[in-house]
Amino acid sequence: MRRTGRVLRAAALALALPCLLVAVWWLASDSSTSFYAPPLRTILGRFDDTWTPDRLRDDVLPSVLRLLAGYAVAGVAGVGLGIVIGASRRTRAVCEPALEFLRAVPPPVLVPVIMLFAGIGDTMKITVIASGCVWPVLLNTAAGVRAVDEVAADTARSYGVTGPARLRHLVLPAASPQIFAGLRQALSIGVILMVISEMYASSSGLGFAVVEFQRSFAVPEMWTGILVLGLLGVALSVLFRIVERRALGWYHGSRGARRKAGGGGA
C-alpha cells in the first residue's frame, strides 16, 4: 500500500509542471487572434483529424524506424570502436585529436554532404542519424573501458578470465554505466537528426509533415506535429529509462549500498 502511495506521489510530482505549462499555454493563447499562434484549443481540436491511423503509419512509423535503425548502428559502432580505443593507450593517443574534431562538427551540416553520397532515401537519413549519435556513445564507452578497476582486472587475469570472456564478463559490464550515459545523450541527438534529415528532400516522416504543414499554411496542424514530436521524445526517454533500470540494476543497488554504509568501506 505504501509503495502504491509513493508511486502515485512521484507521478503527481512529475506531472505537475507539464500540467501547469499546458494550462498557462491554454489560458494565454485562448483569446489569440494571431494566425501563427492559434489558441491551444484550436490546435488540440485539429489533433485527431490530423494524426489519423493512416498518417501515423505513413509519417510517424517511418520516422521511428529510421531513428531506431540509425541509433542501433551508432550503438554497435560506438561501443565497438569505444572498446578498441579505450583498451590501449596508444590507439587513444592516435585517435583522440581526430575524435575531438569529428565530435565538434555539428551533425546537421553533414546532411548535404551525406546526401551527395547516399542520395535522399532512407540510407541517407539513417546515415545522418548514426553519424551524429555515434560520438557520445564512442567517447563514453572509451572512458568507461579505460576506467575498469585495477583490482577487478587483476582478479580476472589471475583467474584466467581473458580474451572474449574478459570482454563479456569484465570490460562491458564495468563500462556499462558510462555506455548507458552515452546512449542517453545519443537518443536526444538522434531525435533531432531524425527531424532535420526529413526536412531535406523527403516525402514522409514527422519532420517532413511539420514542414509540409507550414508551407501549406496549415498552422494549427503544424503545431500538432510539434506536439507529436515532443510526445515521441518523452515516450522514448521513458522506454530508455526502463531498459536502463533493468540493465544497471546492480549499479544503482551497489551505489545505494555504499551510500547507506556512509561512504566508507569497499
Partner 1 sequence: MLEVKGLRKVYEGSGRRVEALRDLTFRLDAGELVCVVGPSGCGKTTLLKCVAGLLAPTEGSVTLDGVPVTGPRPGLAVVFQEYGRSLFPWMRVTENVELPLRQRKMPRDARRARVSEALDAVGLGDVGRAYPWELSGGMQQRVAIARALAYEPDVLLMDEPFAAVDAQTRADLEDLVRGLWRRRGMTVLFVTHDIDEAVYLGERVLVLSPSPTVVREEVVVELPAERDQLTTRADVRFTGLRSRVLGLIRDGGGAADQVSKAGRSGSGSDS
- The residues of the shown chain that bind partner 1, judged by CB under 8 A, are 149-152, 154-155, 157-161, 165, 169-170, 173-174, 176, 250-251, 253-254, 257-258, 265-266
Residue 23 CB, shortest distance to partner 1, in Å, is 44
Residue 258 CB, shortest distance to partner 1, in Å, is 7
Distances (CA, A) of 25 to 12, 14, 22, 223: 20, 18, 5, 13
Q: Which is nearer to partner 1, 133 or 148 (CB)?
A: 148
Do the Cβ atoms of 84 and 91 come closer than 8 Å? yes
Q: Which is nearer to partner 1, 35 or 159 (CB)?
A: 159
Residue 86 CB, shortest distance to partner 1, in Å, is 18
Do the Cβ atoms of 242 and 61 come closer than 8 Å? no
Q: Which is nearer to partner 1, 41 or 258 (CB)?
A: 258
Q: What does the alpha-carbon distance between residue 39 and residue 42 come to, in Å, rounded to a whole number?
A: 5
Nearest 5°: the CA angle 182, 188, 193 is 115
Q: Which is nearer to partner 1, 51 or 180 (CB)?
A: 180
Residue 169 CB, shortest distance to partner 1, in Å, is 6
Q: What does the alpha-carbon distance between residue 180 and residue 192 come to, in Å, rounded to a whole number?
A: 19
Residue 71: which residues within 8 A CB-CB, separation 6 or more? 129, 130, 133, 186, 187, 190
Q: Which is nearer to partner 1, 86 or 132 (CB)?
A: 86
Q: What does the alpha-carbon distance between residue 208 and residue 199 come to, in Å, rounded to a whole number?
A: 5
Do the Cβ atoms of 10 and 191 come closer than 8 Å? no
Residue 262 CB, shortest distance to partner 1, in Å, is 13
Q: What does the alpha-carbon distance between residue 60 and residue 57 come to, in Å, rounded to a whole number?
A: 6
Residue 104 CB, shortest distance to partner 1, in Å, is 31
Q: Where are the alpha helices (DSSP H) in 147-171?
A: 150-158, 163-166
Handedness of CA 50, 52, 55, 60 (dihedral sign): positive
Residue 140 CB, shortest distance to partner 1, in Å, is 17
Helix (H) or strand (E) holding 201: none
Q: Which is nearer to partner 1, 152 or 231 (CB)?
A: 152
Q: Which is nearer to partner 1, 48 or 150 (CB)?
A: 150
